[in-house]
Amino acid sequence: MKKKSRKTIKINKNETGKKGIEYHKRKLKLLARFIGTLAGMFWLFFGLMEPFYGVTGFFMNILPGIILIICTDIAWRYGHTGIFLLLLIGFASFFALMIYGMSMLALVAGIPPILSGFVFIFGWYEKER
């Protein structure tokens, strides 16, 4: 009587080890960049749709979106400096708008940069074994 051969379970190399960690870190950074860029594009589009008066009004309306996109790009390329800027922008806009009593605008303006900054932190952080 022949013995049945046991099937061995193959472990996907993308899920374990150093290669898998790098894969997941890259995905987290991509998610953070997507969140920051999408929020920046929202504010840029919102600024373009606002009525503006003259060149100064035009730049005042689109400036938040441009700053958010630039800070997201800095966080993508240089790490800690951009993450600090994203968190600073997020917390400053959130608390400044909360002080003035605009709680819904504080959520819309503050949460995406804060969320993007924390996801970047998780993407840059490497756990030592």
Residue ranges per domain, the chain? 34-124
- Average pLDDT of the chain, as a whole number: 82
CB environment 20-48: b (16+ within 10 A), e (fewer): eeeeeeeebbebbbebbbebbebbbeebe
Give every CB contact of residue 124 below 8 A, 6+ residues apart in sequence: 25, 29, 79, 80, 83
Residue 18 pLDDT: 60
Residue 114 pLDDT: 93
pLDDT band at 128 (very low <50, low <70, confident <90, very high): very low
Residue 52 pLDDT: 74
- According to DSSP, residue 7 is labeled P
Distances (CA, A) of 23 to 15, 19, 97, 106: 8, 6, 37, 34
Most confident of 5-9, 21-25, 61-65: 61-65
Closest CA to 65 of 49, 82, 46, 78: 46
- Does 107 or 9 have the greater pLDDT score? 107
Residue 39 pLDDT: 92
Helix boundaries (H) for 1-129: 17-49, 54-78, 80-99, 103-124
Residue range 87-95: average pLDDT? 92
65-86, pLDDT tens digit by residue?
999 999 999 988 888 888 899 9
Q: What are phi and psi of 15, to 5 degrees?
A: -95, -20
